Chain A
Amino acid sequence: MAITEQELRLDGNAAAGLLRDVFVHEFTSVRGACATCGAEGEMGAQHLYMTPLSPGAVLRCATCGSMLMVVVRAGGRFRVGLQGLVWLEMQDEGAAS
């Protein structure tokens, strides 16, 4: 039985654990801008493709479908491709709030 792309799609929120391992920061509430279409939003709201045993994840723009970020976990290392993002903005936890 073929699995459709829709059935495979998750929210960036589902990679919160993986992204926390990479960035050591709560990442799903981090905002960013798509390099392809310029849409801005929280990473948790973008589209994620990842399965439980997959060695990584692909985060795609929820607006235009372009790749934002690829995370590969292999050989005890992470490699992160960020070419689909113009910027990221996150809380400075050292700042007085």
Chain B
Amino acid sequence: MVGTALQRRLIWRTAEVVDLVDETPRVRSLVLAVPGWPGHQAGQHVDVRLTADDGYQTQRSYSIASPPSTDERLTLTIERLDDGEVSPYLAGELHAGDQVELRGPIGGYFVWAPAVGGPLLLVAGGSGLCPLMAMLRLRQAAGSTVPARLLYSSRSLDEVIYRDELNKLVAMENGLEVMLTLTRQQPPGWTGLHRRIDTDMLSAVAWPPAERPWTFICGPTPLVETAANALVNLGHEPARIKTERFGPTGG
């Protein structure tokens, strides 16, 4: 935390792509080496800036999916939006060895660390899982046994990001439960949830309000607002429900 507190102005840094991982047909992770990276907290994001040959610049914010570390590396997981301006390049055309400009870490609101405690309720839709994955990875890396539940809405099983890693984390039986809801397409024999996130679902999945969970919700704006409003109606403290809406990102 000291490093981030002392860094006053955000500076643009040159990051080098050191690895690419295809998470799903439309989602790719970029492992970036960022010399001088001061470290980050789980849930923070970076601004990524692209400059065209003619000098035109544009930028987007992406959540950091990797847990805090001291190796001057971070991972961004990016969904390729067909009509997007930035994501088709980042998640389609970049190769290992290429460079991108970024600045960060940014944000001090949508963050979690084991010292914050729990229980922890994480609710995500699509690539909204990324900042929550940083929290789960940190929880694991730190040996935290804070009880955690993830409710993840995905269109299909093939589009579940970090599927193998989530299965492994659950198999460790250290207090993490993962509930999937597959909203568009379910594999044969699927007995799990298969509708959009709603109040009944959250009522069944969420910790009782009396346990005062910390809740982090990230995804498309309608999903985030549906989930946050449902939890408030169920009696959860609004101040313990933190949201990150995608909005009309234009990816």
Contact = CB atoms under 8 A, between A and B. Distances in A.
A17 B106 contact: yes
Contact of A17 (B4, B10, B222, B246): B10
B248 interface: yes
A8 B248 CA distance: 6
Contacts of B55: none
Nearest to B239: A41
A13 B10 contact: no
Contact of B221 (A9, A21, A93): A9
B243 interface: yes
A11 B5 CA distance: 22
A29 B108 contact: yes
Contacts of A24: 8-9
Interface residues of B, number: 32
B190 interface: no
A6 B221 contact: yes
Given A3-B248, A26-B108, A52-B60, A21 B225 contact: no
A12 B165 CA distance: 31
B225 A45 contact: no
Interface string A11-34: 111101100110011101100000
A43 interface: yes
B69 interface: no
A51 interface: yes
A41 to B, nearest CB: 7
A84 interface: no
B107 A28 contact: yes
A20 B242 CA distance: 20
B45 interface: yes
A16 B45 contact: yes
